[in-house]
């Protein structure tokens, strides 16, 4: 898993590691056009804000490759973009990556197949830059932990190789901190309802040989009360101009609990996760997914028939509960709009 490839680009197809069936099965899903990439994102074959963005970029390359000679290239590419953009609403990396591809898409619309190589190069660059950004963030985040070494950290959801181009955001910081012997242990929230922590983070931590304990999400407060935890470290799906951060459901509660227990709270995300178009977290759309993600497990009912569930899959943590936002462009301590703009924009 340290060498795990969640996103593999083969030029004519995008191969995605099917994260719905991990760790029981290791299955690659092949996407050959923008529709298949969209379905893979919506169905959570691939998940994690950075990985979604990278996949969408490759989706545009596949769209261009599949564009019929007779087609109106402008409309074709615009349709592909709209399709991909509608796959999931919260992670801004999706829209950021589609925007980053815009010039290369325009070149293709103008010049046709001769410009596909440029489109492909841009997508590959987005992918490679994400890995480099993760490595930079890993060191910057570990530097923060170095102020309070020899304690445990707690993380939520999956933010590792599987969620990114490689290495990871929050999990990248944890990898770096572990390599530098700054932390004693990782408490990994199982992360209901999708069990990203149990299925994915646990697996990545095992592969790295990092000392870890899986916990029920609701055990986090009890763990913090022991005084063993120095930092809660999470990723982000969208960060507003002022530092308000949308991330996996449960993140906001962890931030409240961390503040109560004097545990520090770190958000780790590439700069593409910051949405300077919105002033604060109230403007971030929160995706609700089907109740069956809560009432069922692998098709088996947990709850009685027809029980209604409320399943918001993200929540918003206000900036004032965040001690540090770590990006590849630098660290924003006690984030506010001015610092965010000065360091990241």
Using CB under 8 A, list all residues that contact its own copies: 23-24, 156, 187, 189-193, 195, 198-199, 202-203, 206, 212-223, 225, 249-250, 252-253, 256-257, 260, 291, 294-295, 297-298, 300-304, 306-312, 315
CB atoms within 10 A of CB 311: 18
Q: Where are the alpha helices (DSSP H) in 261-303?
A: 292-295
Instruction: Count CB neighbours of 147 within 10 A.
Output: 10
Closest of 229, 284, 235 to residue 259, by C-alpha? 229
Whole-Å CA distances, 39 to 46, 56, 281, 287, 303: 10, 11, 27, 16, 28
Picking from 298, 182, 293, 208, the residue whose alpha carbon sits closest to that of residue 248 is 293
237 a catalytic residue = yes
CA dist., res. 184 & res. 57, Å (int) = 38
Instruction: Answer whether 156's CB lies under 8 Å from 257's CB.
Output: no
**Closer Cβ to its own copies, 3 or 310, answer by number:** 310
CA 267 to chain centre: 11
State residue 166 phi and psi, 5-degree precision: 155, 155
Please tell me the distance from the alpha carbon of residue 259 to that of residue 213, in angstroms, as a whole number: 22
CA distances from 225 to 130, 215, 263 (A): 35, 14, 10
Please list, in sequence order, all residues whose beta carbon lies within 8 angstroms of the beta carbon of residue 211, skipping any fewer than 6 positions away: 184, 185, 186
Looking at 130, 189, 217, 237, which residue is catalytic? Answer: 237
At 27, list the tokens.
Answer: 């299955």
Cβ distance to its own copies smaller for residue 116 or 219: 219
C-beta of 73 vs 199, nearer to its own copies? 199
223-256 burial code (b ≥16 CB/10 A, e <16): bbeeeebbbbbbbbbbbbbbbbbbbbbbbbbbbe
Tell me how far, at minimum, the Cβ of 156 lies from its own copies, in Å: 8
Toward its own copies, which CB reaches closer, 241 or 311? 311
Least distance (Å) between residue 42 CB and its own copies: 20
Q: What is the DSSP string of 207-249?
A: HHT--EEEE-GGGHHHHHHTT-EEEEEE--SEEETTS-EEEET
Is residue 235 within 8 Å of 169, Cβ to Cβ? yes
* Residues recognised as catalytic: 237
């Amino acid at each position: 898993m340290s060498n795990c490839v969640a996103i593999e680009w083969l030029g004519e197809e995008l191969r995605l590691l099917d994260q719905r069936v991990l760790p029981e099965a290791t299955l690659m899903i092949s996407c050959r056009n923008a529709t298949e990439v969209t379905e893979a994102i919506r169905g959570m074959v691939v998940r994690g804000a950075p990985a979604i963005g990278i996949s969408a970029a490759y989706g545009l390359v596949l769209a261009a490759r599949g564009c019929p000679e007779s087609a109106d290239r402008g409309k074709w590419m615009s349709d592909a973009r709209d399709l991909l953009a509608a796959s999931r609403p919260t992670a801004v990396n999706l829209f950021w990556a589609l925007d980053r591809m815009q010039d290369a898409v325009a070149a293709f619309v103008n010049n046709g197949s001769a410009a596909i190589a440029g489109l492909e190069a841009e997508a590959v660059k987005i992918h490679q830059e994400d890995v480099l950004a993760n490595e930079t963030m890993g060191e910057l985040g570990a530097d923060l932990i170095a102020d309070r070494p020899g304690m445990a950290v707690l993380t939520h959801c999956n933010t590792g190789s599987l969620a990114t181009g490689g290495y990871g955001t929050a999990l990248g910081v944890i990898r770096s901190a572990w390599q530098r012997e700054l932390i004693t242990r990782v408490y990994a929230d199982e992360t209901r309802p999708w069990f990203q922590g149990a299925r994915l983070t646990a697996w990545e931590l095992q592969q790295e040989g990092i000392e870890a304990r899986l916990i029920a999400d609701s055990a986090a407060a009890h763990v913090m009360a022991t005084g063993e935890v120095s930092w809660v470290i999470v990723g982000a799906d969208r960060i507003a101009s002022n530092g308000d951060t949308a991330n996996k459901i449960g993140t906001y509660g962890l931030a409240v609990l961390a503040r109560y227990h004097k545990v520090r709270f770190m958000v780790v995300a590439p700069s593409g996760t910051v949405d300077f178009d919105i002033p604060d977290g109230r403007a971030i759309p929160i995706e609700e997914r089907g109740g069956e993600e809560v009432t069922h497990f692998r098709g088996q009912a947990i709850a009685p028939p027809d029980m209604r569930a409320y399943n918001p899959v993200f929540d918003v943590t206000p900036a004032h509960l965040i001690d540090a936002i770590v990006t590849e462009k630098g660290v924003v301590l006690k984030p506010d709009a001015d610092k965010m703009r000065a360091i990241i924009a």
